[in-house]
Amino acid sequence: MPGLTDRERTTIARIIRVNHAGETGAIRIYAAQLWRARRPYPDMVPALEKMRRDEIRHCAIFRAAMTERDTRPCRVMRLWSLGGFVIGFATALLGRNMIWICTEAVETTVHKHLIEQLHFLRDRDPALFAAIDAIKDEELEHRDHAIEMQEGRGSLDRMVYAVISVLTGLMIWLSTWGDPSLMARDLRADQA
């Protein structure tokens, strides 16, 4: 992108990589939850399949953005993949409500991160901005559906929600070498 500093180009590459990795992790979460939910919770399968298809499409968008901007996948892709499967399988073992709590926790954390990315990208990469803005709306639909489907929240639910939120945020931070901290600081400064 002409007119960008090296730092801005690096941050854009990190945004694409972490989003691609995050979508990969989400695909694995839904795959594990689907595998487990088919028998005890067949009514959940259509919603989980739709969410998984959305994540697959999002992943393809970020993969294409990598090619267009000559960047590579995240270095910790295997961790995202394995972590997604473990979180998906563990929450599915804990029951129907925990599947929805997992979705809410991940999507809430991701939404905050996407808002920071959009702020950074607005004047720097309009095409990537538009793609992330559209994806953000679908991720909010996933979150809102998960909230609507929950049957209350006990202490275990609150604890798992917090753990998943922290782990998601940590993976984002590790995958971008701390860029979310810089983007969050810039967003706060502009809102002040």
Calculate the average pLDDT of the chain. 91
**Res 122 pLDDT > 60:** yes
**Res 71 pLDDT > 60:** yes
Over residues 88-100, mean pLDDT: 96
Kindly provide the b/e burial profile for residues 123-139, where b requires at least 16 CB atoms within 10 angstroms of the residue's own CB: ebbeebbebbeebbebb
What is the reported pTM? 0.90
Over residues 57-77, mean pLDDT: 92
**Res 112 pLDDT > 70:** yes
pLDDT score for 100: 97
Let me know if residue 148 belongs to a domain: yes
Let me know if residue 108 belongs to a domain: yes
Count of domains observed in the chain:
1
Let me know if residue 1 belongs to a domain: no
Q: Is the dihedral of CA 44, 50, 51, 53 positive or negative?
A: positive
Q: Which domain holds residue 104?
A: 6-191
**Res 89 pLDDT > 80:** yes
Residues 6+ apart with CB under 8 A from 182: 11
pLDDT digits (tens, 9 = 90+) for 162-189: 999 999 988 888 887 665 566 556 556 6
Let me know if residue 47 belongs to a domain: yes
Other C-beta atoms within 10 Å of 112: how many?
Answer: 17
**Domain CATH number, residue 116:** 1.20.910
Let me know if residue 145 belongs to a domain: yes
pLDDT digits (tens, 9 = 90+) for 22-59: 999 999 999 999 999 999 999 999 999 999 999 999 99
Let me know if residue 15 belongs to a domain: yes
- Ranges 117-126, 155-164, 174-183: which has the least confidence: 174-183
